[in-house]
Amino acid sequence: MPEMLDSGVLLQGLGLEVLLLAIRLLCVRARLAPLPLRLPSVAILIWLVHANLPASIANEQNQLWLDSVLLLSRSYAGLQLLFWLFLELPSPISWWAHPPKILRDLSALAIGAALTLVVLQQAAKINVVGLVTTSAILTAVIGLAAQEALKDLFAGIMLRVDNPFVEGDYLELGDDVNGWVDSLTLLSTRLRHVHGALITLPNSMMWQKNMRRFSPKGPIARELHIHLDRELPPNEATKLLLRVAERSPLVLKKPEPQAIVYAYHDYAITYELEVWQEDPTDIGYDDLRGELLSMIWYSLERIGQRVPFPVQEYKRRHGHAIPDEPQEFNLQQRLAILSKSPLFGNLSEEQLADISALTRCIRFAEGEQIVVENEEGDTLYQIVTGQVAVIKTMAEGDHREVARLGAPAIFGEMSVFNEEPRSATVRALEQCVLLEVERNDLRPLLESHPAIVEQLAQSISERRAALLKLTPETKAKQGNDLLDTMRRLFIGS
């Protein structure tokens, strides 16, 4: 007859396993370090098997070894639970700092080895210490086999003692290895490359390499050398470069960008633009450099400049270098554009011609900020081609897109007619061509035709009231205030 299983022991084992699972589930829901299950579950299984072994196996001859296996499994499981309870569990709830993984691994290895020696020495009656120390051959074999591993182990310890980096840092090792620190183990360090690959390096190699360390969010300085035309005054050139850097979303506001004259060449002046960004990777630098160089090209075009060619003298080619080049739009083209304006469309052709003669068409790059919220401005824009986004800063501090505009919409008129700061940031969603109308472009016409001031004031008030959904009383008051300001600006009364 086969022996019956001990139901009491079986129920106790199942109860312990259910308890472990319940504690682990609670830890997961509370976002704490989950209770380890592998070693405790193995210990419970060994206990159940040990308690239900048939007498033919659990005899006096085998009992010593069976008891040793049971004691080792319980010791390992208890050790893992103690490490979880005193090292991993308190860290997420800020009882004390989470210890480095390599120190936890070393401690577990040392204590586990000590427990194994004690159990084999006391329970299994094996003289482990004498066996190892008296066997010169075994000692030599172990030493030779573990030579490289020991180098990596001690290098890992030194990396933790010296602490040159932490998990999450970005490292550059020599010229060919870089990535985010994923983990530091007993024998190796793992880096996550920017392309997603996991790079595993022996700790001894990490200790020997020349290392450059960057924190996860920078800041890191970037230097760009830019050639600009010798005829562009250096003061204007540096202001242009700084204006471009300040309007790039990839450039940090602090530390502030800097632009200086770097060198003279036969065909150009070289400027050094130093900016700071968060992303320390090569990909981040490529994105930043590409955006800044693109914005510089468009900014130069808007002031009638070009990136210089490597010749001593540059003469503009006859005809259009690019079809429909904005700065080549003639008076008739600008007049036709202005006649479609929702603000100036009711003016006569002669009046439109007076304004058009002073305006110009300019181009902005995709992603470039055309106007910035809360900045002063005396220019309004009419969209000729492309699309822009209107972005407002909310009370919570976040930035929200509130509208998208396309041709022939206008924006920026309140800064021109009411001297108000820009009420929103306007960013190009694609390459855009805009008709630029400055306050001084309107002054000759409005000074000689005061009636147009009232006409424009009424048109602007209606546009604003519709946009902000103002009451008739508020609309009337703001309309009168706007008319008074426009009269003061353009008529002097």
Average pLDDT by stretches of 10, the chain with 493 residues: 62 86 86 84 84 71 74 82 77 59 68 74 62 54 62 72 78 81 82 84 80 79 93 91 93 92 91 92 90 94 87 53 67 91 88 91 92 92 95 87 92 88 93 93 88 86 76 81 84 69
Task: Looking at the structure, tell me whether residues 206 and 289 fall in a common domain.
Answer: no
How far, in Å, are 19, 77, 107 from residue 87 at the CA level? 21, 15, 11
Question: Which residues, in sequence order, are bridge partners of residue 435?
Answer: 361, 382
Query: What distances in angstroms separate CA 334 from CA 358, 381, 405, 436, 441, one per listed residue?
Result: 10, 13, 20, 10, 13
Q: Do 288 and 248 form a contact (C-beta atoms < 8 A)?
A: yes
Report field, pTM of the whole predicted structure over 0.85: no
Residues 296 and 364 in one domain: no
Which CATH number do you get for residue 165? 2.30.30.60
Residue span of the structural domain in which 255 resides = 220-302
Closest CA to 39 of 74, 83, 1: 74
Based on the domain organization, do 128 and 27 belong to the same domain? yes
> In one letter, which amino acid is 295?
M
- What is the rounded CA–CA span in Å between residue 23 and residue 16? 11
Q: Find how far residue 338's CA is from the centre of its chain.
A: 41
In a domain, 250, yes or no: yes
User: pLDDT value at position 139?
Assistant: 56
Does 308 fall in a domain?
A: no
3-state secondary structure of 430: coil
Q: Let me know: does 174 contact 210? Beta carbons within 8 Å.
A: yes
DSSP assignment, residue 262?
A: E
Q: For position 96, what pLDDT does the model report?
A: 57
pLDDT value at residue 269: 94
Report the pLDDT value the prediction gives residue 102, as an integer from 0 to 100.
60
Number of structural domains (the chain) is 4
Biggest CA-to-CA distance, the chain: 120
Residue-level pLDDT at 238: 94
Q: How far apart are CA 17 and CA 38, in angstroms?
A: 11
* Per-residue DSSP letter, 307: P
Residues 6+ apart with CB under 8 A from 45: 13
| Predicted local confidence at residue 283, as pLDDT | 87
Claim to verify: residue 189 and residue 225 sit in the same structural domain: no
pLDDT value of residue 483: 83
Tokens of 151: 């180098």
Long-range contacts of 89-94 (CB under 8 A, 24+ apart): 89/27, 89/32, 89/33, 91/33, 92/31, 92/32, 92/33, 93/32
Does the residue 90 lie in any domain?
yes
DSSP letters spanning 40-91: HHHHHHHHHHHHT--TTTSSHHHHHHHHHHHHHHHHHHHHHHHHIIIIISSG
* 22 and 98 within one domain: yes
Q: Do 165 and 21 share a structural domain?
A: no
Q: Are 29 and 170 contained in the same domain?
A: no
Write the CATH number for 442: 2.60.120.10
Tokens of 89: 């569990």
